[in-house]
Amino acid sequence: MSDIITAIAPVNIAMIKYWGKRDEKLILPLNDSVSATLDTNVMCAKTSVCARPDILENEIWLNGIQTSFSNQRLQNCLNSIKAIAREQQSVNEELLSWNVRICSVNNFPTAAGLASSAAGYACLVTALARLYKVKTDVSKIARVGSGSACRSVYGGFVRWHAGVQADGSDSIATQIADSSHWKEMRVIILVVADTKKHISSVKGMSCAVKTSELLKYRVQVCAPTRVKQICEAIKDKDFSTFAEITMKDSNQFHAVCLDSYPPCVYMTDVSHKIVEVIHKYNEICGAVKVAYTFDAGPNACLYLLEKDVPEVLSLIKHIFPTTSDDFIKGLDAPTTHIDLVKEIPMNPLEPNLLKYLIYTKLGNGPQVITDESHLLNAQGNLL
Ligand code: DP6
């Protein structure tokens, strides 16, 4: 039997969105995208894998529940890594012939509708690559699990190159700058209380590609320009440019969703209130101090600099009152209260429109864990 290999991997949030595939099977995107990787100390996926002769069929357990291994994306990841291992002759054929048991958990609530598949697939391919001792760029393999997962393979700021090859060999992620480059950058995730069932990214994207005229313009003109500009802004640590591009791209992505036929609606009234608050705040400050971005759901992700965190947290708590005594999760949040009530021309909304906030920062890519805190015991059974 093999050793138990355990890895952790981060979540990433895109500033320039990936939305639309040129190849649905290989998961090849229409445009380059750019994201930031978040600290695994606050949010991460953790995965243990092992291969044994006595496992009768490949098995996967997600957050304690056994799930079908028939998922094509999952099989593609496993088969791609095994094919590379055979090519590189990195392990013996016997190990490759055994079935695997995979056990994966998230340390953040999946019910919150936060993107967990990116962290999950990045984690899985990191663990499998170690199990089969392959030396390769794992971003291409994570990509066949879920497109955005290829960006979770690196820390800091990351660019996923759409590539031009039909086989996807150049559709890989690269690091723009590591997590120590812009130390002051902070992230606040606003988890919106919401029970609506959302259209999956797969369906939403496919509908946009078939029906949205705006997507064509975005792919040809806006996305390439923005990718170039935001890479420069990151290198120069130019926050206002970074923030403006991030907000414009989020808005355009949701405009593409509305331009799809039938339309995909991901943002809610609460999401739009968040947009309004941020624009009013930036206006009062006379500078762009906070950026919002929304993925395929109602939750907001705010990018801001550390120095502005106390004021922004006070502002959010004022406009979105809560009755929760565990409202801010993640890093230790500054407790200073700043009285903005008179300046912001907005009244507090009804309580509990936000479930909670997650305060975090940028972090590193996936890691294989050596501290023995596996999810499987030495016999390969679930702990
Ligand atoms: C809105 O990576 O989840 O978060 O490739 O079909 O698995 P698949 O889609 P997925 O899409 C993410 C879309 C997004 C934008 C982004 O992360 O770039």
Would you place residue 16 in the very low, low, confident or very high pLDDT band (cuts 50, 70, 90)? very high
> Which of 201, 209, 246, 295 has most ligand 1 atoms within 8 Å of its beta carbon, as the pocket-test mutant?
201
Q: How far apart are CA 9 and CA 119, in angstroms?
A: 5
Question: Would 276 be classed as within a structural domain?
Answer: yes
Alpha helical stretches, state H, the chain: 72-88, 93-97, 117-131, 139-145, 201-211, 213-217, 223-236, 239-259, 269-285, 309-319
Residue-level pLDDT at 249: 98
Residue range 182-211, pLDDT digits in tens: 999 999 999 998 888 889 999 999 999 999
One domain for residues 135 and 252? no
* pLDDT at 1 > cutoff 90: no
Same domain, 158 and 241: no
Residue 225 in domain: yes
Is residue 197 helix, strand or coil?
coil
Q: Are residues 149 and 54 located together in one domain of the fold?
A: yes
Do residue 244 and residue 104 come from a single domain?
no
CATH number of the domain enclosing 112: 3.30.230.10
The answer to whether residues 266 and 296 belong to one domain is: yes
Residue 148 resides in a domain: yes
Q: Is-cis flag, bond preceding 262, omega within 30?
A: yes
**Residue at 369 is within a domain:** no
Spacing of C-alpha 179 from chain mean position: 15
Q: Which two tokens stand for residue 88?
A: 């590189």
- Residue 124: inside a domain: yes
Structural domain count of the chain: 2
On the question of pLDDT at 111 being above 60, the answer is no
Task: State the pLDDT at residue 113.
Answer: 60
Specify whether 194 is located in the same domain as 151.
no
What's the CA-to-centroid distance between 329 and ligand 1, angstroms?
Answer: 25
**Protein residue with least CA distance to atom 7, ligand 1:** 146
Among 123, 155, 178, the domain boundary falls at 178
Q: Are residues 56 and 201 in the same domain?
A: no
Which CATH number do you get for residue 230? 3.30.70.890
Read off the pLDDT band of 115 (50, 70, 90). Answer: low
Same domain, 75 and 124: yes
Distance from the CA of 115 to the center of ligand 1, in angstroms? Answer: 8
Q: Any idea what the Cα angle at residue 340 is, between residues 271 and 293, rounded to 5°?
A: 25
Residue 374 resides in a domain: no
Is 383 inside a domain boundary?
no
Q: 104 in a domain, yes or no?
A: yes
Task: State mean pLDDT over 61-67.
Answer: 93
Residue 110 scores a pLDDT above 80: no
* 160 CA: nearest ligand 1 atom: 18
| Domain that residue 287 falls in | 185-361
pLDDT tens, 209-231?
999 999 999 999 999 999 999 99
Q: Which residues line the pocket of ligand 1, CB cutoff 6 A?
A: 14, 17-19, 27, 33, 115, 117, 146-148, 201-202, 295-296
Tokens of 200: 């999956």
- If asked whether residues 216 and 288 sit together in one domain, one would say yes
Tell me, yes or no, whether 149 and 282 share the same domain: no
Name the pLDDT band for 34 (thresholds 50, 70, 90): very high
CA distances (Å), 258 to each of 22, 24, 219, 224, 269, in order? Answer: 20, 21, 16, 21, 15
Give the Å distance between the CA of 149 and the centre of ligand 1: 8
Q: Are strands 12-16 and 28-29 parallel, antiparallel or unpaired?
A: unpaired
Taking 60 as the threshold, does the pLDDT of residue 285 lie above it? yes
- pLDDT of 337 above 60: yes
Residues 353-359: what's their mean pLDDT?
96
What is the helix, strand, coil percentage profile of the chain, to 5? 35, 25, 40
Among 57-71, 114-128, 189-203, 332-346, where is mean pLDDT lowest?
332-346
Mark which of 110, 143, 178 sits at the end of a domain.
178
Say whether both 169 and 307 belong to one domain: no
In this structure, the answer to whether residues 333 and 220 fall within a common structural domain is: yes
Query: Can you give the pLDDT at residue 341?
Result: 63
> Tens digit of pLDDT for each residue in 247-267?
999 999 999 999 999 999 999
Does the structure show a pLDDT above 60 at 330?
yes
Residue from 124, 148, 266 whose mutation best tests the ligand 1 pocket (most atoms within 8 A of CB): 148
Angle of CA points 250, 252, 257, to nearest 5°: 95
Of the three residues 178, 212, 236, the one that is the final residue of a domain is: 178
pTM for this model (two decimals): 0.97
